[in-house]
Amino acid sequence: MTSTIAILAPGAMGGAVGRCLAAAGARVITVVEGRSERTAARAREAGMTAVSWTDIAAADLILSIVPPAEAVGLASSLAPILTESQRKPAFIDFNAVNPNTMNRVSAALAGSGCPIIDGSIIGPPPSPGKDATTFYVSGDDLDRTEILSGLGLKLRRIDGPLGAASALKMVYAGINKGAIALGTAMLLASVKADCAPDLSRELSESRPEVLARLVQGIPDMYGKAYRWVAEMREIAEFLGPDDPASGMFEAAAGLFARMAGDREGNRTLAKALNGVLGVSGDGA
Amino acid sequence: MTSTIAILAPGAMGGAVGRCLAAAGARVITVVEGRSERTAARAREAGMTAVSWTDIAAADLILSIVPPAEAVGLASSLAPILTESQRKPAFIDFNAVNPNTMNRVSAALAGSGCPIIDGSIIGPPPSPGKDATTFYVSGDDLDRTEILSGLGLKLRRIDGPLGAASALKMVYAGINKGAIALGTAMLLASVKADCAPDLSRELSESRPEVLARLVQGIPDMYGKAYRWVAEMREIAEFLGPDDPASGMFEAAAGLFARMAGDREGNRTLAKALNGVLGVSGDGA
């Protein structure tokens, strides 16, 4: 029997997941109403079928894959539809949100009758046949996500309650995206202090792996900075006000907000960073 | 002619620099008055000669190598001695301080008649014959530090005014010690959220170089955390209140203060971190 998987929304990550599942034989549905023509084209081209909001309930599983700031909103929008529906598909929140936010997602859908599963995605948008991307789930007592394994996704269960998969995403992203924030801040400061060539020479000699990571990760961040603002705030809230490190992520959110503004404006900061890094790209 | 180099103080870094310079044939003097017997023994064993504070002025160069919070205090203590002295040795501040603090060091010694040079050290305590440690200097128009090159230190000049070498140290340390702060915070959070084994497995698979750095760098930090508190504050001040990233380093200072307290107490946090990292060491 062909499985039907709903993916909301068909962005860069959701579209890539949809393509993998469609390539593996699933029927993949999504909603493109109100989205750009470019997004609609991407969804079509990935083998996804555009349906109406109410038809989303026809899925076996609903995957929520949106920017972190939209996770609760999406769950709230779906709540009346799923509550009305006879079918009760499992809803999996795969977003980069903290366990508290995951609880809000769960609360928004509490009256719907649908099973709620916590998930997170670590790695780049997946490609069929590659396994660089891991899909973590927790709170899936009845193995409802097994279907995704069967469709070729690299799925990993975390022993733990609803929220454990979200927590894992927070700590992993905190280390890696936090490092991009540090590198961005320090490279910009080195330009201001006229020691940028000295910094990149010293890094290339004593920490070549760190420099390589910044050369790859900083330009890749420009186009995602607006999403990372909310993700950094999720991490700060995850740590809570009593953890002294919480402020690192509040501040990283501020830095990424500045980079998002730069992207919308004249890209002065991105150009300065590219100059230090010796690259010309402007990211995804 | 044998050069005389004064090193204050003979701590882990200062002692190692003293050993290199003594091994290269310099007369290396220091002050051990008021220091522990262990420090005095380390200085002797490194080939350094203990002298009185007033005899420090007999040096050709004075190297200030102290924890960042002590840099201005040391300069202020030496000011009357150097002002009184006939000899006017160059004073090089090699500490992990920001350019503003470097200016305060310079101001403290302004009336002494001694040339003031900005410096910074990047890398581990040096060993004779190895070149893993680079000594940066700026504001040394008359090449007074050439003598250190002649004695085998890997010396690098930065084109820039007094403060450029300090700025380089700030941006380099911000990237690398900042990453240790991120790792420490996230590993501790993963223990609290019961996803520590998942985090270390995911890192070992997708970011093995990051995990390796944390395995090495986090235990190494425990014994230095108290010094890093001041260093993180130097970086925060370097960025200034208008830079959104400044708060990352204020917060990192708070985290390292917590780790320094843990070191003095029951070491609960260090034990938890070692557990995730799979190590048993407690650092230097």
CATH number for the domain spanning A152: value is 3.40.50.720
What type of residue sits at position B190?
S
SS3 sequence of A176-219:
HHHHHHHHHHHHHHHHHCCCHHHHHHHHHHHCHHHHHHHHHHHH
> Is residue A91 within 8 Å of A62, Cβ to Cβ?
yes
Tell me which chain B residues have a C-beta less than 8 angstroms from the C-beta of A244.
251, 254-255, 257-258
What type of residue sits at position B170?
M
In DSSP notation, B90-155 reads EEEE-SS--HHHHHHHHHHTGGG---EEEEEEESSSP-TT----EEEEES-TT-TTHHHHHTT-EE
Does A73 share its domain with A124? yes
How do residues A104-142 score in pLDDT, each as one tens digit?
A: 999 999 999 999 999 999 999 999 888 899 999 999 988
- Whether residue A284 is contained in a domain is answered as no
- Whether residue A88 is contained in a domain is answered as yes
Does A243 share its domain with A198? yes
Does B88 share its domain with B184? no
How do residues A60-81 score in pLDDT, each as one tens digit?
A: 999 999 999 999 999 999 999 9
* Residue, of A284 and A263, whose pLDDT is higher: A263
Task: Name the pLDDT band for B281 (thresholds 50, 70, 90).
Answer: low
Interface test with A, best of B97, B198, B205, B229 (most A CBs within 10 A): B198
B216 in A contact zone (CB under 8 Å):
no
A40-58 mean pLDDT: 95
> Is residue B161 within 8 Å of B168, Cβ to Cβ?
no
- Whether residue B284 is contained in a domain is answered as no
- Whether residue B283 is contained in a domain is answered as no
- What is the pLDDT, as a whole number, of residue B284? 42
Cα separation of B39 and A162, whole Å? 53
B48-60 mean pLDDT: 96
Task: Give the domain extent around B118.
Answer: 4-161
Strands (E) located in chain B: 4-8, 27-30, 48-50, 61-64, 90-93, 116-122, 134-138, 154-157
Nearest CB among A172, A203, A247 relative to B250 is that of: A247
Last residue of a domain, one of B161, B193, B222: B161
- What is the pLDDT, as a whole number, of residue B205? 95
Task: Name the pLDDT band for B131 (thresholds 50, 70, 90).
Answer: confident
> How many angstroms separate the CA of residue A80 from the nearest CA in chain B?
32
Last residue of a domain, one of B161, B177, B195: B161
What is the DSSP code (8-state) at residue A109? T
